Amino acid sequence: EEQLVESGGGFVRPGESLRLSCAASGFSFDSYNMNWVRQAPGKGLEWVSYINSASNRIYYGDSVKGRFIISRDNAQNSLFLHLSSLRAADTAVYYCARKGSGFGGYLDLWGRGTLVTVSS
């Protein structure tokens, strides 16, 4: 079964850092481009970051640019998101999501998410 499982969320103070992980299984992780998408409590979906299979094309949303870093380890079938200089507005469930194998950036497999809470 194809699966994505996020971990690493938790409660942090403003200005602190956190590292999220996403473990992939059941498919050839190194063949797929990956994304992080977040959802603030009671709100809609916000795309956060993209990384291609070779890690040589990386993009970020404006709200996290310069503070978050996406990376991956294909040997470990894992995707990461390093969050720094965290703000209350970063409080959200963070999902890792696989880009579909066809043309275009639709997201065909999602993890269950990990909650990040930023509060003083």
Burial class (CB in 10 A: 0-12, 13-18, 19+), 115: middle
Query: Binding string to other proteins for residues 75 to 94, with x set by CB under 8 A, is what?
Result: --------------------
**Complex with other proteins: residue 50 or 68, whichever CB lies closer:** 50
DSSP bridge pairs for 95 = 37
Supply 14's token pair.
């403003």
Helix/strand number for the chain, H first, E second: 0, 11
CB crowding 25-47: b at 16 or more within 10 Å, else e: eebebeebbbbbbbeeeeeeeeb
Segment near other proteins (CB under 8 A), from 8-16, 25-33, 82-90, 99-107? 99-107
- Hey, which residues between 7 and 46 contact other proteins (CB under 8 A)? 35, 44-46
How many residues lie near other proteins (CB under 8 A)? 22
The least CB distance from residue 113 to other proteins, in Å, is 6
Of the candidates 5, 7, 111, 118, the one whose C-alpha atom is nearest the C-alpha of residue 67 is 118
Question: Which residue number, 19 or 112, has a Cβ lying nearer to other proteins?
Answer: 112
Identify the residue among 1, 13, 56, 104 touching other proteins (CB under 8 A). 104
Binding residues (CB under 8 A) for other proteins: these are: 35, 44-47, 50, 59, 61-62, 95, 100, 102, 104-113
